[in-house]
Amino acid sequence: MPASTQGPSSRPRAPALLRRLAALLYEAIVLFGALWAVAMIYGLAVGQRSGVMDRHGLQLAACLALGLYFIGFWTRAGQTVAMRAWHIRVIDAQGRPPRFWRAGLRFLLGWLWVLPPLAIAWWAGLDHAAGLVLLAVWIVLWAFACLLREDRQFWHDAWSGTRLVDTEP
């Protein structure tokens, strides 16, 4: 195996942080289109005339679509569309794609990337601009928190028993 993917204990190392963040940005672009389609289908199905009409149902449909997307891809191949493009795979402790419950836990813990600052912004009554700044700062801090770990894994991966590995040829 290439030396760049091997650590001292011969376990595959986490991909570089910048590459993981680039994959996250790519994933956001893919999901923008997917969620747009979900919103369009939902709106047509319920006769939605505005974005605030039945917004809770739309939010639930969007969360379910996200869960199906991530959990489905992670349990089958260990890679989403963006992870495949950036040569990153999620595995469990045995080196296989995570099973349904572990992938589900990873999905739920992945919300730690966005929910804490959004909850703080809502609680503090911040306007949209301040909320976006808070969100951006949190994402940067949460991403760099992986550097506190010896294996460089994100915290939600460590807590869910998964790890991101480099699959570059």
Kindly give the interhelix angle for 128-144 and 17-46, rounded to the nearest 10 degrees: 140
Tens of pLDDT, residues 100-145: 999 999 999 999 999 999 999 999 999 999 999 999 999 999 999 9
Point out which residues pair with 166 in neighbouring strands.
88
Domain ranges of the chain: 12-166
Structure tokens at 160: 């869910």
Three-state DSSP at 34 gives: helix
Tens of pLDDT, residues 4-47: 444 445 667 889 999 999 999 999 999 999 999 999 999 999 98
Q: For 128, what's the count of Cα atoms within 13 Å in the CB-facing half-sphere?
A: 0
Tens of pLDDT, residues 35-87: 999 999 999 999 888 777 888 899 999 999 999 999 999 999 999 999 999 99
Q: Give the pLDDT confidence score for residue 1 in this predicted structure.
A: 42
DSSP assignment string, 85-138: HTTEEEE-TTSSPPPHHHHHHHHHHHGGGTHHHHHHHHHHT--HHHHHHHHHHH
Report the candidate in 168, 147, 146 with the shortest Cα–Cα distance to residue 157.
Answer: 146
CA dihedral 132, 135, 137, 139 (to 10 degrees): -140
